[in-house]
Amino acid sequence: MQAMIPSSYRIQKFIKETQDTFTIELKSIESKNGFTFEPGQFNMIYIYGIGEIPISISGDPNKSGILTHTTRAVGIVTKEMAKLKKGDIVGIRGPFGRPWPVREAVGNDIVIVAGGIGLAPLRPVIYHVLENREYYGRIILLYGARTPQDILFRKELEKFRSRLDIDIIVTVDRAIKGWTGNVGVVTTLIPRAPFDPINTIAMICGPEIMMRYTIIELIKRGLGKDKIYVTMERNMKCGIGFCGHCQYGTEFICKDGPVFSYKEIEHLFGKREL
């Protein structure tokens, strides 16, 4: 099974993002063709002799030469990943999964709502819409982090904001000295966010509870359930629908998702232990 065989990538750059998150930039050792993917897709990353986990791609879909992943050091594999440095080698299988609806969203306003590390799978969307700016209406990013020190891609967010054709609103759960921005959960930003609910596509990534309340607020603003997209997370061992681990009701998150419209999974969403 070719899809089960990883190929080697070398780390070009290791970036420590925050206290517990980091980004690796990779280049293929075996192929010169680069790596093409669509925003929202993920790879299975193999740390030699340790294990393999699914991580979404966080880089620019228009730059196929470099493959970028951002993650948090929480489990056995990611903690080992956090020790990697420039020149080290990892195995990659992918890309897998259904992407964010960036094509369907053409002509619409786009609201991106991210919580914590949930910004990583959405960053390719930001790159994509900014590179194809003329095809989209207003672009709004609502981002919530735990504290000001946990704000992911901070320098880049500041740079994006200086473009003037994207609204970026950041909030933190807990402020620290010197923080003059918003305080509170990300859902509090939705009622006043400047988008036209009739022609808007929303893309959400964060903890399930955050996504649930975000959906409620977006529906209150008048967004249709088919216009709201979320990305789901479950245990995955294969990425291609064979291992059974990522089943979510009728869906295999690896191949039917990870991106779903809320309409598709409304009957499953929020059900306990599903």
Partner 1 sequence: MKQISPDQLKDLIQGLQYRGYITIGPTLQNGAIVYSEILDINDLPIGITDSQKPGHYRTTQTNSNAIFNYVVGTQSIKRFLYPPIQKIFSAKFTEKKIEIQELDKPSQRYAFIGIRACELEALKIHDTIFSKSEFKNSRYTTLRHNSLFIAVNCSKAEKNCFCTSMNTGPEVKYDYDLLLTEINKNERHYFLLEVGSEKGEDIINEFDFSDADESEINEKYKVIEKTKSQIEKFLETDGVKESLLQSFESPVWDDIAKKCLACGNCTMVCPTCFCMTVEDYTDLERNSAERIQKWDSCYTLEFTYIHGGSVRVSVGSRYRQWLTHKFATWQEQFGTFGCVGCGRCITWCPVGIDVTEETTKIKKLSQLQTTSLEEL
- Given the complex with partner 1, which of 107 and 244 has the nearer CB atom? 244
Q: Which two tokens stand for residue 13?
A: 């750059």
Cα–Cα nearest to 41, from 244, 247, 255: 255
Residue number, 200 or 231, with CB nearest to partner 1: 231
Residues contacting 240, CB < 8 A, separation 6+:
3, 4, 96, 254, 255
> Rounded to whole angstroms, how far apart are CA atoms 203 and 238?
25
CB 126 to partner 1: min, Å:
24
Minimum CB distance to partner 1 smaller for 97 or for 148? 97
| DSSP SS3 for 56 | strand
Minimal distance in Å, beta carbon 93 to partner 1?
11
CA distance 167 to 115: 16
Contacts of 198 (CB under 8 A, 6+ apart): 222
In the bound complex, what is the minimum distance in angstroms from residue 156's beta carbon to partner 1? 24
Q: How far is the CB of 108 from partner 1 (least distance, A)?
A: 29
Q: Which is nearer to partner 1, 195 or 248 (CB)?
A: 248
Binding site for partner 1 (CB under 8 A): 1, 3-8, 29-30, 46, 48-52, 72, 74-75, 78, 89, 91, 233-235, 237-238, 240-245, 247, 249-250, 252, 255, 267, 271-274
